[in-house]
Chain A
Amino acid sequence: MYRYTHSWIRRYTSYLQGKNKAVDKSTKRDPLDSIKMTHSLQDMRQQAAIAAKVFIQRDYTNGTVCQFQTKFPSELETRIDKQQFEETVRTLNNLYAEAEKLGSQSYIEGCLACLTAYTIFLCMETHYEKVLKKIAKYIQEQNDKIYAPRGLLLTDPIERGLRVIEVTIFEDRSLTR
């Protein structure tokens, strides 16, 4: 009987120690977690919140050629100049037209690809991809110079499958304060 209670006491104390250890572990984690949390909260406060998104749809009046509508969406009326925006979209349309152009470069590229059993695509970039890089750079530059200072952000339409240009409108907290 004594032996039993003794072993029980031993078992019970080890159980309690185990529990304490678990508790210790959790307490150990806590300070770091709270620090991380406050840090991320500060990050969140610095970045502007997204208020809305406008989607500029494709303009299919000329068939399946990649073109976006230049119509100025009403949501952006208070945020940016109409001319500026339309200029951006028009430039994008021109760039896409250049990408899809049936010119000598695309023809040569096609022939070369056929001759090399398409292995040339492993080393070379297609004409369309080159223009897409140009477009990405243009959008980045437009964002930096024109749209970000106005609380807008253009998303490269290639990320949406060339279906829409996504314009993110950020919340203007300076007004609300």
Chain B
Amino acid sequence: MPGFSSGGVGGGVGVPATAPPRPFRPSRYVPVSAATTFLVGSTTLFFCFTCPWLSEYFSFVIPIYVAVIFLFTLANFCMATFMDPGVFPRAEEDEDKEDDFRAPLYKTVEIKGIQVRMKWCSTCRFYRPPRCSHCSVCDNCVEDFDHHCPWVNNCIGRRNYRHFFLFLLSLTTHIMNVFGFGLVYVLHHRQQLDTPHAAVTMAVMCVAGLFFVPVAGLTGFHIVLVARGRTTNEQVTGKFRGGVNPFTNGCLRNISHVLCSSQAPRYMGRWRSPQAVEVQPPFLRPPLTEAQLEAKVLDNGIQNDRHSTRSKSSLDQMESQSADAEPPPPPKPELRYPGLPRADTEESSLLTEAPTTPSMYKYRPAYSSPGRNHTALTHPNKMIRGESLDSPSPSILQSSHQPSYRSEPSSLDGATVVGGGVGARRGGGERGEGPGGPGGTAGGISGGMSGYSLTGRSYTSYPSSLVLSTGGSRSSSLRSAQTAHNPLATLHSEGTTDTSYKSLANQTPRNGSLSYDSLLTPSESPEFESAAHELSPQKPHAPFPSATITGQPEVVSPSTRLQGYTSPFLSAQFAQQREGQLLQGSVTFSSPHRAYLRAVSPPPPASSGLPEIQHLLQHNQDSSSRASRNPSSSSSSPGARSLEPPVSPPPRGLSLGKSQSYMGEARPQHKTRPTGGGTVLGGGAAGGGQQAPQSTSRPVLANHTTSKPAGGVKKVTGVGGTTYEISV
């Protein structure tokens, strides 16, 4: 059986997320056609050549029994092939409104006491429910995603897992039947083996015997999975290898859930009943309590919206901080309803401060698979502003960009408000999670993993994000990241995904399907805590796109973090001034244009233990300690601006990106590369995020392409044509 990589032969590059009609790829249909041909063909031959004698010699029950099993196999095969596996419809735009630029890439939920991460799906525009995964072959998020099976050319998910499982069981039985009865026939016709009947029977036996090994292996594998209450995806990515599976209810319950539960409903293609309800003012209002009345009086006529009160302080702060920084950003394009209360528009203007260039937030560059080359993941809104997952809370709470952070708790609480909530979404998530696997070589891969498309995901415990994060939480998150069970420790987080923003993920549709080999390479599994990965020496070439300036204060201490948040540029400036004093990794920038610079924080002390981190730490501490001395003055944007002129002369000239608005938000980025010094980008970083090691791979901010460090000099290009060389 030739091995096919699903979708690989006929040009298996995925289409961009927004292209609705997918190109017809005939190669996808080869395995399923082959499977159907073999199944139906062999069984037909068996019935024609072997069964007549069997029914005469033994009894007529045998062909009937074989036929029943065969029909059952065929029925389950058809159901597994044609049934919707549980595809989620794309989220409507309203659901997505809030953020795009600031929402985190991950949201954590607690399931039976275990922290589970929900990732933002940039294609489908929602946070994937637990156990949901996005199949790159089908370009859909599938509920309870098991795997993409090329033999049925369909995803196996919640709705059709039962049929798939029964198909495997019945196929194993059928193969055994055919082989067994064929053997009986051959043994009885030892002297007449040259007859066509015997020859055909032997051929059918060969085919059956050939297929028996992989099918039985796969069946056994799935029996174990069902008993344990796991999906193939979870098993293969080792999510619960050392830990506890929150989705299991005991062996018996798991089996009964698979076999006996009512068929889950379809989400796609449902008939929508027309809304017959007419909503007309005047509307009833609940009676106000005494406290509410008082509050209204004191409110001084401010419109009811709670967001306004929440965001007000942040508004004030932001204005004060960035008063001189830059002109107010252009308003976000009208995605909201015309009837929004004032507060919301305030907030929306707040939110829209991110893009300084009007056209830029619509820019959606093509996304090439992260981990391979972080080319120009330019997103104007720079998620930089976005919060990093571990952004230190003090800076977050105080700083302005904080409407997004502010709303984080509400979004985490579950009531996502369109008008007010500003969740930041992190971009850079990889979209294609169901890679066209290596297709299935018939030669059974042990464990029946052939033909499985796997997504690299992990349920490592994830620190609760942004809003609630504090300095302490950052370290705790780091700790949890490290202790989190991380079976694919060698996997390199996809560089960009951890701590990257939804906007980046949204704008970069992933066209490459993750193939099996990508699974094997470390660049898989963006969801794994990047702490271990990025610091691991296995990744000599970190996909770290940004040129960085060392010396992010955040990295060093929470207090500096706070300040560093407000003025990364200033710290960068100081770092720059002290460039001569830096030991290594001097960064030279030649940037005639403004470019985005990302602050890269050296790995936090908590994650130390790796030589390069220590090294980086020392490195950064020098500059960061100096930079941290100027936190107060850093808040002024002029400080950031002033960086520009002095920048050019010195070899390490910094050119500030257009994102002046991100000034206060420059986030230290953790440098993934073990070589060279830690570099810090002053770029917009949200909330001074000290991103735990995860944040290191933040393609979003970078907008750069980094070539792999080859010896002496790395060339980094930023948006707008800025190039700088980093000498390592």
Contact = CB atoms under 8 A, between A and B. Distances in A.
Given A78-B286, A117-B72, A127-B262, 15 more contacts: A50-B339, A52-B418, A52-B419, A57-B415, A60-B116, A71-B414, A71-B415, A77-B306, A101-B262, A105-B262, A106-B262, A128-B262, A159-B270, A162-B267, A163-B126
Contact of A74 (B111, B247, B275, B306): B306
A51 interface: yes
Interface stretch (B89-97, B182-190, B216-224, B496-504): B89-97
A153 B151 CA distance: 44
A95 interface: no
Interface in B234-264: 246-247, 249, 253, 256-257, 259-264
Contacts of B111: 60-63
Contacts of A58: 129, 414
Contacts of B166: 114
B693 to A, nearest CB: 26
B263 A126 contact: yes
A139 B277 CA distance: 11
Contacts of A79: 283, 285-286
B207 to A, nearest CB: 24
Given A150-B284, A172-B281, A56 B267 contact: no
Given A63-B111, A102-B257, A143-B277, A128 B265 contact: yes
Going nearest first, the 4 A-B pairs with the smallest beta carbon separation are A73-B415, A151-B283, A171-B339, A57-B414
A162 B417 CA distance: 18
Given A51-B337, A64-B131, A71 B413 contact: yes
A136 B265 CA distance: 13
Interface residues of B, number: 70
A55 interface: yes
A52 B340 contact: yes
Given A100-B261, A118-B79, A55 B95 contact: yes
A172 B282 CA distance: 7
B337 A50 contact: yes
Given A57-B414, A64-B131, A74-B410, A102 B256 contact: yes
A69 B413 contact: yes
Contacts of B126: 163
A75 interface: yes
Interface of B: 71-72, 74-75, 79, 88-89, 91-92, 94-95, 109-112, 116, 126, 129-131, 143-144, 166, 246-247, 249, 253, 256-257, 259-265, 267, 270, 272-273, 275-286, 304-306, 337-341, 344, 410, 413-420
A164 B95 contact: yes
Nearest to A48: B279
A64 B245 CA distance: 12
B339 A49 contact: yes
Contacts of A140: 273, 276-277
Contacts of B416: 54-55, 57, 164
A106 B261 contact: yes
B419 A75 contact: yes
B306 A102 contact: no
Nearest to B278: A148
A165 B402 CA distance: 27
Contact of A136 (B109, B273, B283): B273
Interface in A72-122: 73-75, 77-81, 99-102, 105-107, 109-110, 113-114, 117-118, 121
A153 B277 contact: yes
Given A75-B420, A136-B273, A52 B414 contact: no
Interface in A125-142: 126-129, 132, 136, 140
A46 B166 CA distance: 55
B716 to A, nearest CB: 40
Contacts of B75: 117-118
A69 to B, nearest CB: 4
A79 B129 CA distance: 29
A74 B94 CA distance: 18
B94 A53 contact: yes
Contact of A52 (B74, B246, B279, B344): B344
Give the residue among A121, A163, A172 with the most B Cβ atoms within 10 A: A163
Contacts of A127: 262
B306 A75 contact: yes
Contact of B129 (A62, A126, A163): A163
